[in-house]
Structure 1
Amino acid sequence: MVKLALRSGLRWKVSLAIAGVSALVAVALSLVVHNAARLSMLDNSRDVMDERVQIAQRYYENTGRLMLHAKVDDPTLPKQLRDAAAVGLRATYLQDSAGNGTPEVWASVPLRNGKILSIHTKFKDRFSIIDTLDRVLIIGSVSVVLGGTALGILIGGQLSRRLRKAATAARKVADGDPEVRVRDAIGGRVRDETDDLARAVDGMAEALQDRLEAERRVTADIAHELRTPVTGLLTAAELLPPGRPTELVRDRAQAMRTLVEDVLEVARLDGFAERAEMQDIRLGEFVVRRVRIVEPDARVKVVRDAYVSTDPRRLERILGNLLANAAKHGRGPFEVTVEGRVLRVRDHGPGFPEDLLEKGPSRFRTGSKDRAGKGHGLGLTIAAGQARVLGARLTFRNADPEVEGGTGAIAVLWLPESAPTSTGSFPIIRVPD
């Protein structure tokens, strides 16, 4: 089952949260204020009508005439007021008016002659204040929500910006830049949880760098110590009498020497101490000459030639390792294509394994899907390291049988337009779809 996930920025999450809380608070306060104002208005209207009915009662009993639009035994008098007058009580009553929200306020009082004096009115002028108050509350609520949203965008934007800077710095650390510190990258005077996160990431990066540096030193020291005895072993093997055992000894001694040299090279590349010696070369002509020496059977196609500034020795090392990997783990024909600053090496074997495509080359992991090929898996690791020194990008993929006609592994070297930086990092190269 495929789970759909919506991606949204922290800025908008914080903004929506603050806007939602602001809206809830504004609505709640508006309802409380509206109800309180309405109840106060109704109570005041009852008091006013009660005073009026008392004045009308005294005037009627003294003069026999009616005032304040009072009526005696009004046939429309509500039943609740008739019941109250029956027991001799003066009362007020609110009657809902059909078609509008202004209630009709009644007041009644029993007279000495057994009749009921009553008055009623709607107080339209007074209750119109409620409508004005509602409009003010709506405008205020909208203003609060908009202000809360703007505040959320401001706070969330600042936090999101700090986190993006931290993510960018962390990626640089992951790419091997030892000088980058996440805490320095995010900056700011306010200390919050992002600073704690940055310090934790910096501490973890420093610990990992120290550990990797220690492992690199151990690896380089071991390889360096093995270099002398292996050279002596290879020299001694040359003095053995001809024969099959001698050939086996020479072959294994040479393989061990190659392994030691490769391990030393990987250690130097891991230490980011290598620097390229740049020269201007014509890429197509350079590749044709080198391929003829390394793999004479490979087919070279120059789609578009270009002049590039690179280190010829390191570029030759990359090209040789890619062709050697194709020869060991793939099948012919081998194809080398030059298109501007892009160099492709392809075979027609089973292709790269999935873990290599996902995680990239790793030492002592060969480029064969069935791992049946010979080799110690350092060729692609060295090629990727040399590409980093050149400021280039080395990518790996498998051929699409429907589009590219058959299977096979394809390694693509993207040479940069400018020289590499002082740290050996490469600029961003846009890879076409």
Structure 2
Amino acid sequence: MGLRWKLTAAIAVVSALVALALAVVVHDAARFSMLSSARDVQDTRVQIAARIYDSTHRPTFGAKFNDPKLPPPLKAAAAKGLRATYVQQTSGAPVIWASMPMPNNKVLSINSRFTDRTAVLDDLDGVLIAGAVAVVLAGSALSVLIGGQLSRRLRKAAVAAREVADGTPGIRVRDALGSRVRDETDELARAVDAMADALQKRLDAERRVTADIAHELRTPVTGLVTAAELLPPGRPSELVRDRAQALRTLIEDVLEVARLDGADQRADLQEVALPEFVKRRVRGLAPEAVVEVRRDAWVLTDPRRLERILGNLLANACRYGKPPVEVIVDGPVLRVRDHGPGFPEVLLREGPSRFRTGSSDRAGQGHGLGLTIATGQARVLGARLAFRNADPEDAGGGAVAELWLPESTEAVRTAQAAGTTSVPGVAAAAEPPSGPADDGR
């Protein structure tokens, strides 16, 4: 239940309780006033009946002497020589009594039912119920309007906050709210914007430090790699060259991660025939992988960045999975699957994280940057990269990485359907990457 309906329900309940309380008070006050008026009328009638009896010696207005049904309180009042009235409650309408003492120990009394006044009370109760319903409905309608406005502002703030969390630059919650209203939502928006600015400054500072460190290390490491190539052949030289190249690859990956963390990355989008692109790239990156094309598609992407993603996914599958490694093209969806133990639960739950390589027995086999880079490149492409584990009953399970790419324009798809082999501005492949990247499984 949203805030609007919670507020509406609360106001409706409060309105109903207030209307009920007022209706009870008004009903009791009206009944008391009517009964008091009826008792005054009955007292006047008994006095008139007594005067008429003194003149004519005949009772009028239905008066009776020493009525056996006379209530005990009236008998007691008459014994004291007092004139009195009394309301006798019955199963139906109440009975109004009036009595006064007469000579010779006689008690003159008159009684009548409160029927006509009860009908008035019934009409009053109907009016009170209708008024209470109207108050509840009016209060509910007003609360829907007020709660709807507040709910819309909060939803706008939530959408803007999610965009800020996703790294969208230039988004501010206070601007998303629109008109300036000095309330709690405006204070919340200012607080969230201040927090986002502070976090962004801190992230920018950390990214600059990481990029500066990696950039400063690039030159000496390049010299180290060059010097290692000049060492005489032998096992020690191979170890030195291998570690120097690994260090160089790590620095390049750290630089790429730092660039992807920024908001200034732009993709050089082109129309790409996905099946042909994947087949050519897989032959160079992982010849042992099996390519299956279920449905052709043309996608709008950056070939260099797409090749980087594909290379990292294949390197991850080949390093941590088990053969066969399958690459499936299903329209604009690209899947890379192995038949190994699958992704760790922490990766499926939290997503790729830099310098986290999964289980402890894989220490030293990577730096945990491959899937992080792939995820960042997919974000730049406007694509979506997801990770899951296949069903163990489905050919032994394994890890599955799925990349959803944006499809190309209708004109290019029409050209492909017509069998056109070359389309202006369309790239079918790109040059192979400089080398494999660490994976993050």
Work out whether the TM-score is over 0.5: yes
Pairs within 5 Å for 1:120-199: 120-199=111-190
The answer to whether structure 1 residue 416 and structure 2 residue 406 are counterparts is: yes
The answer to whether structure 1 residue 405 and structure 2 residue 395 are counterparts is: yes
Deviation readout 1:298-320 (Å, 9 max, x if unpaired)? 01100111111211111110000
Pairs within 5 Å for 1:282-321: 282-321=273-312
Contact (CA 8 Å) 2:298, 2:407: kept in 1 or not? no
Per the alignment, do residues 373 and 288 of structure 1 end up closer, same or farther by CA in structure 2, a change over 3 Å counting? farther
Structure-2 separation of matches of 1:25 and 1:359:
50
Structure-2 separation of matches of 1:19 and 1:70:
53
Contact (CA 8 Å) 1:53, 1:119: kept in 2 or not? yes
1:431 maps to which residue?
none
Residue 218 (structure 1) shift? 0.6
Residue 418 (structure 1) shift? 6.0
1:20 maps to which residue?
13
The answer to whether structure 1 residue 114 and structure 2 residue 124 are counterparts is: no
Structure-2 separation of matches of 1:23 and 1:57:
50
Pairs within 5 Å for 1:220-299: 220-299=211-290
Deviation readout 1:213-253 (Å, 9 max, x if unpaired)? 00111111111111111111000011110011100010011
Contact (CA 8 Å) 2:385, 2:401: kept in 1 or not? yes
SS at match of 2:31: helix
2:65 maps to which residue?
72
Structure-2 separation of matches of 1:112 and 1:405:
116
Contact (CA 8 Å) 1:41, 1:127: kept in 2 or not? no
SS at match of 1:187: coil
1:425 maps to which residue?
none
Structure-1 separation of matches of 2:364 and 2:228:
26
Structure-2 separation of matches of 1:244 and 1:123:
118
Corresponding letter in the other structure for 2:171: V
Structure-1 separation of matches of 2:360 and 2:62:
103
Residue 170 (structure 1) shift? 0.6
2:83 maps to which residue?
90
SS at match of 1:401: coil
Structure-2 separation of matches of 1:60 and 1:90:
16
Contact (CA 8 Å) 1:280, 1:309: kept in 2 or not? yes
Per the alignment, do residues 373 and 283 of structure 1 end up closer, same or farther by CA in structure 2, a change over 3 Å counting? farther
Aligned Cα root-mean-square deviation (Å) = 1.4
Contact (CA 8 Å) 1:18, 1:148: kept in 2 or not? yes
Corresponding letter in the other structure for 1:165: K
The answer to whether structure 1 residue 9 and structure 2 residue 2 are counterparts is: yes
SS at match of 2:99: strand
Structure-2 separation of matches of 1:208 and 1:78:
85
Residue 368 (structure 1) shift? 5.0
Gaps of 5+ in 1: 1-7, 420-433
Contact (CA 8 Å) 1:46, 1:92: kept in 2 or not? yes
2:439 maps to which residue?
none
Per the alignment, do residues 68 and 107 of structure 1 end up closer, same or farther by CA in structure 2, a change over 3 Å counting? same
Contact (CA 8 Å) 2:82, 2:101: kept in 1 or not? yes
SS at match of 2:362: coil
1:349 to 316, 333, 340: 340
Structure-2 separation of matches of 1:418 and 1:181:
32
Corresponding letter in the other structure for 1:16: A
Structure-2 separation of matches of 1:144 and 1:372:
70
Residue 125 (structure 1) shift? 2.0
Contact (CA 8 Å) 1:352, 1:368: kept in 2 or not? no
Corresponding letter in the other structure for 2:46: V
Identity of aligned residues (%): 71
Structure-1 separation of matches of 2:199 and 2:399:
33
Residue 282 (structure 1) shift? 1.1
Contact (CA 8 Å) 2:321, 2:341: kept in 1 or not? yes
Structure-2 separation of matches of 1:368 and 1:172:
32
Name the count of aligned residue pairs.
Answer: 409
2:25 maps to which residue?
32
Contact (CA 8 Å) 1:352, 1:369: kept in 2 or not? no
Structure-2 separation of matches of 1:343 and 1:367:
23
Per the alignment, do residues 58 and 418 of structure 1 end up closer, same or farther by CA in structure 2, a change over 3 Å counting? farther
2:428 maps to which residue?
none
1:212 maps to which residue?
203
Per the alignment, do residues 158 and 371 of structure 1 end up closer, same or farther by CA in structure 2, a change over 3 Å counting? farther
SS at match of 2:357: coil
Corresponding letter in the other structure for 2:340: G
Structure-1 separation of matches of 2:181 and 2:265:
40
Deviation readout 1:12-48 (Å, 9 max, x if unpaired)? 1101110111111111111111111111111111111
Deviation readout 1:383-415 (Å, 9 max, x if unpaired)? 01111111100000111113x221211100000
Structure-2 separation of matches of 1:237 and 1:370:
30
Contact (CA 8 Å) 1:111, 1:117: kept in 2 or not? yes
Which piece of structure 1 moves more, 142-151 or 83-92?
83-92
Structure-2 separation of matches of 1:324 and 1:392:
20
Contact (CA 8 Å) 1:94, 1:105: kept in 2 or not? yes
Structure-1 separation of matches of 2:15 and 2:307:
65
Corresponding letter in the other structure for 1:78: P
Gaps of 5+ in 2: 410-441
Per the alignment, do residues 372 and 333 of structure 1 end up closer, same or farther by CA in structure 2, a change over 3 Å counting? farther
SS at match of 2:356: coil
